[in-house]
Chain A
Amino acid sequence: MTILSNSNTLSPPEFIDRLEKGLADKGHTVYRIGRGKCHKNISNVHNICLNSKVNTPFNTLFLLLKLALYPKRLSSLLSQTLKLKGTKARINFISKVGPVLLLLPDIIHIHWAPNLSDWLFFQKFNIRVVCSLRGKLVNVTPNTNSELLEIYRKSLYLADGVHSVSAVMIDDLKRHEIKLPNNTRVIYSGVKNEAFTNVRKYNDEKRILIVGRDHWIKGYNYALRVLPFLDGDITMRFIGFTPTKETQYIIKILGIEKKVVFIERMAQSEISKEMRSATILLVSSVSEGIANVAIEAMYNRLLVVSSRAGGMSELIAHKETGFLFENRDVEDMRNNLMEALRLTDGKKRQIIEAAFQKVKTQHDYNNMIEEMENLYYRLI
């Protein structure tokens, strides 16, 4: 099977990267299309580079000449292009879609839903178009932007298949009267579990770990506000972002400078080490599909305390595989953190073992690849 994976970038987020490489490892021909460093193909995933240096008018012309060998494809591209307004938009469209018309893969997988409508015309060529539901553009923006909501209403049901990273995302879209195709499946993100060990380092120091990019969606302001109300000597370690002025200032006015540590960048293997020596992973997000970092923490046998944002309750059963608190509720966050910190060793071990079993069955890497393959096979 030939699969074109489109996440707009040649350096996709890790969960998309894992999926692409996993499918390639299974013997499928996988192409990745987007902007970014036009480096050589990594592993067996092939890159289609869309950088402006490559997309010169000359290259676009050359592409059109190549497509002239296939008149049906060319006329379809031109009629689609003429629907767009502005020369720049048209050239961009041709350079984005043209290489794929030469390729004609079996499956086009669009990872960010707003882009879907650009690719639906490939269905004319018997190519199946699959769209993923993931991220802020599905979780947040439809609730605040009626234009995007309308785009989803007009396009999502036309996809041949839809993949969602959590069940709650499907429910949310349905609540907004967005129709989805029959082939809509929840396929949970998978993590390679051989990377993890069950060896944990126990410290006297109580460390709450927060891992993630710098975005308001992650609810770090709520996490910071809870810190003065936690009893005992507790530090919060933020991994993956440089503190913004907002974060710095909140820390200053709350007087918690000595209780927070920021580590801007860290390799995945180092994050796993951090997880093995932390006490709790806190997911303070106000919106999430299912936080990959929580899955990794559970594999690392680290206790997770999370908000009930998005699909987190599909991962965590309260007090069985972790702790859940009400979204945007600092007091409830504090109560759950305190309860988690006061767990007896026996109870804690019981929860983290249950959590480990949960991710092992629900978020297995091989299962994810297999389920995605099944979705594709069902369509072709």
Chain B
Amino acid sequence: MRIGLVLSSLPAYSEVFLDNLINTLNELNHEVVLFVNKTEQSKYKSIRVYKIYKSGNFDRLTNLLKNLILAALLKPKRIVYVLQTGKGLRQRFRNLVKSSHLIWHDLDWIHYGFATLAIDREEVGKIMNCKTSLSIRGYDIALYTLNNSKVYLKVWNKIDKFHVISADLLEQAKFYGLERDTYRIIPPAIDISSLPMPSFKELDQKMLFRIVIVGRMNWKKGGEFMLEVLFHLKKKFDIKVDWIGHGEDFERLAFARYQLNLVQDVTFHGKLPQKEVFEIINRNNFLLHLSIQEGFSNAVLEAQALEVIPIVSDAEGLPENVLDRATGFVTKRLDLNHVISVFEEISQMDTSDLRQMARRARTRVVDHFSLNMHLQKFGEFFKR
């Protein structure tokens, strides 16, 4: 099948789930074509990328003209059909601009990488006579609905199939009007073979809390709250923290680290190549991941596969990623006292119980979140 994957831009460093989806579709012998709003240099050599624009208004105009000319030559009726969607002239032209890079292609299936990308493009599948699907992710449901709870009502009715990454997000999608049952929960997966073998973890009381934090430095990851937790933890235990990731909140976190007197205890490594990320995760005992908003998190899966025990918040999909007290610990979101009490509980636990928990977590990830499972589930999802 020729599948058009619609994204806002090419997958960024931290969007491993999109890379996985592209690789999975390739593995399933589908021809993948990427459609992005804006792009710089593509890292995919064998995949064609079509864009609305590269950068700047001039480029936007020339690309739009190019796309419209191609559509007028190859599929002129589709321009007319797109112009019949939406209310008002302005909205109709906006819809045409948003779909201009798509409509002149022959595709069997269009998959929107985020639900937000299907807004104003709901009719495109029908116009192009192909099946449509979309992925419902954390941002789509948790954040995009904050200002408009009815934003997806039209989308739910026009799209054929829905991929959702966690049961929690499915519940939220239902809350925001999804009534159809053509959905499938397919959580993210990781490539176990790309990971090193789990190292032996020193879980002795003296240096128990060797902690790693992995994630983009933005508010969603709860970085400032995690530093607050570490500040209180330091009063009771010896801690050593490796923090991998960078982002727009770097100064905010660096300042909190300074004010909370954690500069010696928390090392910021910045953005690292994947191999080094795995090495650093592997040398720690716990992964701290107290997100305020989180769809599912690949980093938490990777930590579990490396037998690093996750301590996560109960944001969206995280309690499905980590089974509380079976494969890690789930804490209440933004509840400092609860997080500290969990750390106290861990400090009282037998080393053997912690090791068992870590092994159980790895087994579960291998059994349920491997790329093979992913491949199988997406294979079924993209069956006509």
Contacts and interface: CB of A to CB of B under 8 A. Distances in A.
Interface in B69-128: none
Contacts of B292: 246, 249-250, 253
A249 B142 CA distance: 8
B260 interface: yes
Interface in A268-313: 286-287
A328 B260 CA distance: 9
Interface in A197-221: 216, 221
Contacts of B252: 216
Contact of A141 (B142, B146, B220, B251): B251
Contacts of B203: none
B293 A144 contact: no
B194 interface: no
Nearest to A286: B259
Contact of B256 (A248, A249, A328): A328
Contact of A286 (B143, B147, B255): B255
A89 to B, nearest CB: 22
A286 B256 contact: yes
Given A245-B143, A253-B292, A140 B336 contact: no
B343 to A, nearest CB: 17
Given A249-B293, A253-B292, A216 B249 contact: yes
B334 interface: yes
B333 interface: yes
Contacts of B250: 144
A254 interface: yes
B146 A248 contact: yes
Given A253-B333, A254-B334, A330-B336, A140 B146 contact: no
Interface residues on B, range: 20 to 34
A144 B258 contact: yes
Contacts of A216: 224, 249, 252
A248 B256 CA distance: 22
B228 interface: yes
B334 A250 contact: yes
A327 interface: yes
Interface in A104-159: 140-141, 143-145
A318 interface: no
Contacts of A145: 251
Contacts of B251: 140-141, 144-145
A246 B336 contact: no
Given A249-B293, A250-B292, A327 B259 contact: yes
B335 to A, nearest CB: 9
Chain A, interface SS category: helix
A40 interface: no
A328 B228 contact: yes
A286 B257 CA distance: 12
B254 A143 contact: yes
A291 B110 CA distance: 53
Contacts of B333: 253
B219 interface: yes
A140 B255 contact: yes
Contacts of B219: 221, 245-246
A144 to B, nearest CB: 4
A8 to B, nearest CB: 19
A73 interface: no
A252 B146 contact: yes
Contact of B255 (A143, A246, A250): A143
Contacts of A286: 255-256, 259
B148 to A, nearest CB: 12
A18 B336 CA distance: 42
Interface in B186-231: 219-220, 224, 228, 231
A235 to B, nearest CB: 20
Interface in B328-374: 333-334, 336
Nearest to B249: A216
Contacts of A225: 334
Nearest to B254: A144
B259 A328 contact: yes
Interface string A329-340: 011000000000
A287 B251 CA distance: 13
A280 B220 CA distance: 30
Interface in A222-246: 225, 245-246
B216 to A, nearest CB: 14
A225 B338 CA distance: 14
Residue picked from A216, A225, A327, most chain B C-beta under 10 Å: A216
Contacts of A141: 251
Contacts of B260: 328
A286 B256 CA distance: 8
Interface in B146-160: 146-147
Nearest to A329: B228
Interface in B239-262: 249-252, 254-256, 258-260
B153 to A, nearest CB: 20
Interface string B18-44: 000000000000000000000000000
Contacts of B220: 246
B229 to A, nearest CB: 12
A340 B365 CA distance: 51
Contacts of B231: 328
A182 B252 CA distance: 33
B221 to A, nearest CB: 11
Given A144-B250, A328-B259, 18 more contacts: A141-B251, A144-B254, A144-B255, A221-B224, A225-B334, A245-B143, A246-B292, A248-B146, A249-B142, A249-B292, A250-B292, A250-B334, A252-B146, A253-B333, A254-B334, A287-B259, A328-B260, A330-B336
30 contacts: A143-B254, A143-B255, A143-B259, A144-B250, A144-B255, A144-B258, A216-B249, A221-B219, A221-B224, A225-B334, A245-B143, A245-B219, A246-B219, A246-B220, A248-B146, A249-B142, A249-B146, A249-B292, A249-B293, A250-B334, A253-B292, A253-B334, A286-B255, A286-B256, A286-B259, A287-B259, A327-B259, A328-B231, A328-B256, A331-B336
Q: Which 5 A-B pairs have the closest CB atoms?
A: A144-B254, A246-B219, A143-B258, A248-B146, A216-B252
